[in-house]
Amino acid sequence: MRILIHDRNEEFGQALKEKYDRIIRADGKYAPCQGCFHCWTKHPAACGMKDSLHEICRVIGQADDLVIVTENWYGGYSPAVKNILDRSIGTSTPMSTYRAGEMHHTLRYGRHSSWSVLVYGETAENEKKTWKLLAEKNAINDGFRSSEVSFIPDTEELEARAQ
Amino acid sequence: MKTVFIDCSPKKRLSASGFIAGFTAAFVAGKKKKEKLRTKADYGRVLEAVKDADSVVFSMPLYVDGVPSHVLPFLREMELYCKESNPALNVYVIANNGFIEGRQNEPLMQVMENFCARSGISWRGGLGIGGGVMMNVMRIMLTVFFGLAILNTILAVVREGSFQAGPLLGFGKQALEVLFFGCGIVAFDLWLAFCINRQKPFGKRYTRVMLPSFVFILFADIFFVIASFFQGGMFRGWLAKKKPAD
Ligand SMILES: Cc1cc2nc3c(=O)[nH]c(=O)nc-3n(C[C@H](O)[C@H](O)[C@H](O)COP(=O)(O)O)c2cc1C
């Protein structure tokens, strides 16, 4: 399955509809994670907050290839995108294991394939360095085999690059 | 000298970030303010507190290898304020994460450093603590044990009319054990407090609960088994590949 998470407008997703099995628009109309871990310990793979992200981990968990289109915020994701990632830890289970020589959680949906990030907005050199590390670490943490980051200064090009 | 400690955990009570912020503050001299940054409603108040500060200490949990999403818009507001007013601010960060390796906080530290660069304020370094949940459990248990020791001591006086050192000695032993597992955290944190007092750079340091990772993983698994048993998740498809509704 190929899944896109993006923080652009509705039309952006519409234009890419054919290319993805699922498109998640990070519109920011949802609550941030409260850190309760109930998506592991109480009602597995579901959040206690019943907004549009209520069961989002069940969707993201199905991804083989995940593409994320995000504005650059200090070398990391925009708040709307990061909010979705924070609310998705149900893609893992509470049990722990080793991955890449570090402690991580076991994967509810098994291994995934590629984690690609398309970063737009002005991005400084130090931020690019952070991005590379962050995507690499995200891929390990969430059980993706590879990670890739591309910087797209011109938002006009985003649609073509996200094909 | 004024130092503002910002607990960035979304938890209302008993956050690891709040604990370690308070612990650090205990060793910092001068005027101190502790703020909680949980929702957008806190932004204005926290920004006000930052305005006449010399140093700001962000204490936050690691969320998916980065800064929790609810903190980011605050950073943007603070950046705008800093660009406008050019305050001479020192920024320190304490990050704690669930996994045992404190080093997993590195991307978060870099994001915070990049935030300082954009805002034109001084990045003074950060401390990343691995095993944050365990640190938090240990300090909560230690408080409970202390309460029990005091209670037992009083009960002994009431019942037998004499002071018994047993319960307090028992607590002393428990405190030493916790101190052993937490020695890295305490040592690095005291060093951080020393640097905050002198407004000096601390660098980027990582420490952890002093346990080998395979033992830590065992404890973490036991912790989640117990939590999932009592909260019922274990009986609701605990590890199942749950399908979306549509
Ligand atoms: C949404 C979410 C994401 C998390 N991501 C990570 C992670 O990537 N790595 C890690 O080591 N711990 C992770 N944790 C664990 C927290 O960092 C840990 O529980 C921390 O001690 C919480 O601190 P607090 O009590 O101050 O909120 C995550 C927790 C939550 C709720």
SS3 A23: strand
Given the DSSP bridges, would you call strands A102-107 and A92-99 parallel, antiparallel or unpaired? antiparallel
Interval A106-132 mean pLDDT: 98
Answer yes or no: are the C-beta atoms of A152 and A158 closer than 8 Å: yes
A125 touches chain B (CB under 8 A): no
> What is the distance between the alpha carbons of residues B189 and B210, in angstroms, rounded to a whole number?
15
Model pLDDT for residues B172-217, shown as the tens digit of each residue:
999 999 999 999 999 999 999 999 999 999 999 999 999 999 999 9
From the list A35, A43, A97, the residue facing B236 with the nearest CB is A43
What is the fold of A2-162? Rossmann fold (3.40.50)
Question: Is residue B139 scored above 80 in pLDDT?
Answer: yes
Q: What value does the CA radius of gyration of chain A take, rounded to a whole number of Å?
A: 15
Answer yes or no: are the C-beta atoms of B85 and B79 closer than 8 Å: no
What's residue B246's pLDDT? Answer: 72
Residue B52 DSSP one-character state: T
What's residue B88's pLDDT? Answer: 97
> What is the distance between the alpha carbons of residues B158 and B174, in angstroms, rounded to a whole number?
25
Model pLDDT for residues B141-184, shown as the tens digit of each residue:
999 999 999 999 999 999 999 899 999 999 999 999 999 999 99
Does the beta-carbon distance from B236 to A32 stay under 8 Å?
no
Question: Is residue B36 scored above 90 in pLDDT?
Answer: yes
DSSP count for chain B of H helices, then E strands? 8, 6
What's residue A28's pLDDT? Answer: 98
> What is the distance between the alpha carbons of residues B211 and B180, in angstroms, rounded to a whole number?
10
Contacts of B244 in chain A (CB under 8 A): 55, 58-59, 62
Strand partners, A70: A119
H/E stretch holding A4 reads: strand A2-6
- The domains located in chain B, with CATH, are 2-133+182-230 (3.40.50.360)
Angle among Cα B204, B96, A131 to the nearest 5 degrees reads 60
Considering only CA atoms, which of B236, B16, B74, B35 is closest in space to residue A82?
B74
> What is the distance between the alpha carbons of residues B58 and B38, in angstroms, rounded to a whole number?
13
Residue A133 DSSP one-character state: H
Answer yes or no: are the C-beta atoms of A14 and A68 closer than 8 Å: no
What's residue A149's pLDDT? Answer: 98
Look up the ipTM and state it. 0.98
Token match 């117990």: residue?
B226
Give the global pTM. Answer: 0.97
Model pLDDT for residues B40-92, shown as the tens digit of each residue:
999 999 999 999 999 999 999 999 999 999 999 999 999 999 999 999 999 99
CB atoms within 10 A of CB B79: 17
**Six-digit token string for A26:** 């990070």
Question: Is residue B245 scored above 90 in pLDDT?
Answer: no
**Six-digit token string for B42:** 């806190």
Question: Is residue B4 scored above 80 in pLDDT?
Answer: yes
Residue type, position A123, single letter: T
Distances (CA, A) of B31 to B45, B49, B56: 17, 12, 12
SS3 B121: coil
Q: What is the mean pLDDT of chain B?
A: 97
> What is the distance between the alpha carbons of residues B120 and B79, in angstroms, rounded to a whole number?
8
Q: What are the boundaries of each domain within chain A? A: 2-162
From the list A61, A79, A103, the residue facing B100 with the nearest CB is A103
**Six-digit token string for B145:** 């044990």
Mutation pick from B65, B93, B211 vs chain A, by most beta carbons of A within 10 Å, is B65
> What is the distance between the alpha carbons of residues A16 and A162, in angstroms, rounded to a whole number?
8
